[in-house]
Structure formats: C-alpha cells, structure tokens
Structure 1
C-alpha cells in the first residue's frame, strides 16, 4: 500500500482499489461520499483487522482500549488505517514488519504484546504449526471498515462524472448475488 499511496500522491497513479477512508489519505485521495461521510454502499469490500496475542498473555482489547499492554503493538508496514488509529489512541507501535508472517514471528519472540492484522490471513497463519501453539486471536475486532476505490483528488476533480459512475457501478456490483457468492468463496478460501 505504501508504494501505491506514494504513487497517487506524486501523480504517477490515479487510484488504488482497496483504500480505507482515513485522515492520512483524504488530503490527496477522493472517496465516494454521502454528505460529509464516506458512502459505504459504494465500498469495494468490508474488512476486519483483528488483535492477536501470545497464548496465556494477559493483554486484552475491549474494542476501545488495550489493557495489560507493556510492549508495542505490532502492525504491518504501511497499514495506514491501523497506524492512524493507534496514533490517535497514543499506543506505542512497531510497523517495521512487512508481512503478517514477520509480525507473528516478532509477537511469538515477545517483541510486542499484540499484533494487528487482517482477519482471514491471521486465521490462516494461526493454523501453521509454528504459530498454532503460541498465538491466538481475540474475539473483538480492532477495526471493521469499508475499503474503497480511492481516486487521486486531481483525477477526481478532472473527471468527476466518470468517477461517480465508476463508484456507482462498484456499489451495484457489490449488491449482486453473483458478486456476494464470489466474495464469500474468496473469503473462505483465504481462511484456509
């Protein structure tokens, strides 16, 4: 996401297919809006980020704050939505791991008290022998957010009608039975 985000900021690319609506992006990307809020009916997908910890750890997440946290929270490099939230909460974090696999290895090695990552890839990693006996997922999501086709603000300004039609088409396709069936199949496949 980092390279793509910077390409959009630099004017090299016009959009990113799965961008979260978050302050770090709204200064140079446009999103489908409904009044002052993002229009979730035109989202590409809904994704959940979950909190993972070492088995036996006292660390907890209640949906608003961490308890029993002494070490940083580990997040994937460039995960702008997660970083924005952790910074707003004042939670120390480490975003040096480029993959969830590396982040889970750091968590298992006690270099953080928690890791935050995509639900389905996290579940898949928990089935791996090296993590299955050491790590677990907490039940309350860290975030459950729509992701959008984020478009460079300059491009949106130059082609507003075309971009709105594209966002409308994404919303229509997302409501179709064929797309929902395909999406469920893809999600189930990602969890295994």
Structure 2
C-alpha cells in the first residue's frame, strides 16, 4: 500500500474513533430527598422530573433518579459515583463538584432548568426587617437547610446561621418555638408550606423582597462530562427545549396556580 494512502487511512480511522462517543447504559442523577414544590413533590406536580424525563426521551437515554440527603448527593457526584445532580444553583466553588453549562465565567441561564428564589420568613410581630440590602432587628440566628447556597449570603449579611436541619418543616417548627429568629427558604417551598398549614400560616409571614433569585441547573460529574461531551451538551439543550414547550409552560402555570390557592 502506498505510504500516502496508508497515512490517509490511519488519519481517517483516528477521526472516526474520536467522533464515536461511547454511549452509557443510563444517566444516573441525584437530588434532595425533600419536597420542593412544584419542582419535586410526593403529593403534587413534580415539574423537574417531568422535564428530565422529556429531556431523556429527546436524548434517547434511560434515566435513573436517586433521592438522598443534599450533601451526600453533592459528594457522590463530586466523587464520580453518580453522573449528575439537578436543581443546583451556580457558585464558582461548586465547579469542583461537577460541570455546568457555562457561558464565560458563569453558568449559562439559557440552559437552566428553572428560576427560583429564597425568601425570609419571620414570626408575626417580630421586629425583623429586610430591605433588600441589610437585615435589622434580627433576634437570634437565621435558619437555613443544610448545604444550601443561601447560607453564604446570610453570613455575608452578618447573620449567624443555624443550618443543622435539612427539613424545611423542622425549620419552620424551630421558628415557631423561637429557637431561631428568622428562616430562609426557597420561596415556592415556603409559600406552599404556609398556605397548606394553618399552624404556620397563622403565626409566620414572609418579610421584605426576595433574598435572592437565581437559575437552577443540572450539572454532570467531571468523569461523565469528560467521557460523554456530546451527550452532555445534547441533554442540556433538551432541557432548554422542554422548558420552552407549550406543554411544560402550561404545566408550570397550573402548578403555580395550585400552590397559590
């Protein structure tokens, strides 16, 4: 065989090998094992699961979802024991955990799963105030769920944070018992719990503007993203496509309407 033809054949084989990405048997994701309506709920809409199932169908891959403590979920993805974690906000230090859909130095909001916010809750009659810039008249620590990103923001505001519980209802009960002076919760979760429980609704109220609003993402483990770059990008794009479908938008509107009843 002529040398030039042999070199061309070898280059062609190399190019083919580089283009052929191995296909995993399934995509193994984790999330927190606590309700966060309307994204995850045992007794209502679970829009994140609906979105991921649609994205998996678009990407032609089997989906496995495991629910566990949030900190454990993050650790298992960081240690490449699972392929990804969903409903995680962006913080630069979380880049060591996994791979975000990036745009420049930050995650690309066009590839988000959804938007959500954190709000501050206080006992009715409490002097606590939040004006969007600073906390005043705070008596005691602010409660937050273990491992949640809002903890750093609260600490930056000068608040002492009690993050010993990962259960939002346990934290609401701490507030009722005056073991904490305020509570930071994802807004939809907090509003839903207050609306559904008179014991909370009659004594607890939301205060001031949102603490923060941010997009939430699916991120992949470093091993998965390195081994399956095309599938990684394809799945993020499938999430964005699903989010913009009329069917998903209607499901979101219906779920939000149900939460606000």
**Is the TM-score greater than 0.5?**
yes
Partner of 1:186: 255
Partners of 1:76 and 1:95 within 8 A in 2:
yes
Q: CA deviation at 1:70?
A: 2.9
Distance 1:191 1:169, change over 3 A: same
Structure 1 runs (4+) deviating above 6 angstroms are none
1:135-150 matches, within 5 Å, as 135-150=204-219
2:183 is aligned, of 98, 103, 115, to 115
Asked if 1:153 corresponds to 2:222, the answer is: yes
Q: CA deviation at 1:38?
A: 1.2
Partner of 1:103: 171
Asked if 1:25 corresponds to 2:94, the answer is: yes
1:1-192 matches, within 5 Å, as 1-79=70-148, 81-127=149-195, 128-192=197-261
What is the CA–CA distance in structure 2 between the aligned matches of 1:44 and 1:163, rounded to whole Å? Answer: 14
Partners of 2:112 and 2:218 within 8 A in 1:
yes
Q: CA deviation at 1:71?
A: 0.8
Q: CA deviation at 1:24?
A: 4.0
What is the CA–CA distance in structure 1 between the aligned matches of 2:91 and 2:256, rounded to whole Å? Answer: 24
Q: Give the number of the structure whose alpha-carbon radius of gyration is greater.
A: 2
Q: 1 or 2 for the larger relative contact order (CA 8 Å, sep ≥6)?
A: 1
Unmatched 5+ stretches in structure 2: 1-69
The two structures, once aligned, show a CA RMSD in angstroms of 1.7
Q: How many residues align structurally?
A: 191
Partners of 1:48 and 1:142 within 8 A in 2:
yes
**SS of the residue 1:141 aligns to:** strand
Unmatched 5+ stretches in structure 1: none
Deviation digits for residues 141-166 of structure 1 (CA, Å, limit 9, x no counterpart): 11211000011123212222221111
TM-score in terms of structure 1 length: 0.91
Q: CA deviation at 1:119?
A: 1.5
